[in-house]
Chains A and B, each alone.
Chain A
Amino acid sequence: MSPRAVRAWSFVHKWTSLIATVFLLMLCITGLPLIFYHEIDHWRGASVEPPELDRAPRNASLDAIVADARARRPGDAVQYVAADPDEPDVWYVGLGDTVDAPELTAYYTYDARTGELLGEYPLNEGLMYVLYRLHYDMYAGLPGTLFLGLMGLMLVASLVSGVVLYGPFMTKLPFGTVRRDRSSRAHWLDLHNLLGIATVVWVLVVGATGVVNTLAIPIFGQWQATELAAMTAGFEGEPPPADEVSVERALAAAYEAAPGTTLSFIAFPGNEYASPHHFAAFMQGATPLESRLLEPVLIDARTNEVTAKGTMPWYVTALLLSQPLHFGDYGGLWLKIVWAVLDVIAIVVLASGLVLWVGKRQPASGRAKRAALDASGDARALAFRERS
Chain B
Amino acid sequence: MAIIRGRPRPLRDGTWAAPILLGAASALGLTIALVADGLGDVVGAIALGIPALVAAWCTRRPPP
Residues of A within 8 A of B18 (CB): 175-176
A335 at the interface (CB under 8 A from B): yes
Distance in angstroms from B25 CB to nearest chain A CB is 8
Binds B, one of A15-23, A38-46, A101-109, A337-345: A337-345
- What's the tally of chain A residues with a CB closer than 8 Å to chain B? 45
Cβ contact within 8 Å between B26 and A202: yes
Q: Which residues of A contact B22 (CB under 8 A)?
A: 197-198, 201
The verdict on A194 contacting chain B, using a C-beta distance below 8 Å, is yes
Given A168-B8, A172-B3, A335-B45, A288-B36 contact (CB < 8 Å): yes
* Best-surrounded residue of B1, B52, B54 (most CB of chain A within 10 A): B52
B52 x A175 contact (CB < 8 A): no
B30 touches A200 (CB 8 A): no
Interface string of B14-38 (1 = CB under 8 A from A): 1111110011001101100111110
User: Which residues of B lie under 8 Å from residue A200 when comparing CB positions?
Assistant: 19, 23
Residues of B within 8 A of A385 (CB): 3
Contact B41 A335 (CB under 8 A): yes
CB of A142 within 8 Å of the partner chain: no
**A279-291 to B contact mask, C-beta < 8 Å, 1/0:** 0000000011100
If A342-B48, A345-B52 touch, whether A171 touches B26 (CB-CB below 8 Å) is: no
Question: Which residues on the B side are within 8 Å of A289 (C-beta)?
Answer: 34-35
- In the complex the two chains form, is B63's CB within 8 Å of A179's CB? yes
| Residue contact A330 to B52, C-beta cutoff 8 Å | no
**Closest CB in chain A relative to B8 CB, distance in Å:** 4
Closest to A291 in B: B37
Contact assessment for A198 and B51 in the assembled complex, using a CB-CB cutoff below 8 Å: yes
Interface residues on B, range: 35 or more
CB of A138 to closest CB in B, whole Å: 27
A262 to chain B, nearest CB (A): 14
Minimum distance in angstroms from A189 CB to a CB of chain B: 13
* Nearest neighbor of B6 in chain A, beta-carbon distance: A386
Known: A168-B8, A176-B18. A202 touches B30 (CB 8 A): yes
Q: What chain B residues lie within 8 Å of A160 (beta carbons)?
A: none
Chain A residues, CB < 8 A from B19:
166, 175, 197-198, 200
CA distance A176 to B19 in the complex (A): 10
In contact, B26 and A331 (Cβ under 8 angstroms): no
Given A288-B35, A341-B52, decide whether A176 and B30 contact each other with a Cβ distance below 8 A. Answer: no
Q: How far is the CA of A385 from the CA of B37 in the complex (A)?
A: 51
Q: Mark B46-64, 1 if CB is under 8 A from A, else 0.
A: 0011011011011101011
- A199 and B10 form a contact (CB under 8 A): no
**From residue 288 to 333 of chain A, which have CB atoms closer than 8 A to chain B?**
288-289, 292, 321, 324-325, 330-332
**A331, B64: Cβ atoms closer than 8 Å:** no
Is the CB–CB distance between A331 and B44 below 8 Å?
yes
B7 contacts A332, C-beta separation under 8 Å: no
Q: Which residue in chain B gives the minimum CB-CB distance to A337?
A: B45
Which 5 A/B pairs are nearest by Cβ-Cβ distance?
Answer: A331-B33, A176-B58, A201-B26, A171-B8, A167-B10
| B interface residue numbers (CB < 8 A to A) | 1-3, 7-8, 10, 13-19, 22-23, 26-27, 29-30, 33-37, 40-42, 44-45, 48-49, 51-52, 54-55, 57-59, 61, 63-64
Given contacts A168-B8, A201-B26, A342-B51, 8 further A-B contacts (CB under 8 A): A176-B18, A181-B63, A194-B58, A201-B30, A288-B34, A334-B42, A334-B45, A338-B29
Q: Which residues of A contact B (CB under 8 A)?
A: 166-168, 170-172, 174-182, 191, 194-195, 197-202, 205, 287-289, 292, 321, 324-325, 330-332, 334-335, 337-339, 341-342, 345, 385-386
CB<8 Å pairs between A and B, sample of 14:
A166-B15, A167-B10, A171-B8, A174-B64, A176-B58, A191-B59, A195-B55, A198-B22, A201-B27, A201-B30, A205-B30, A288-B34, A289-B35, A325-B34
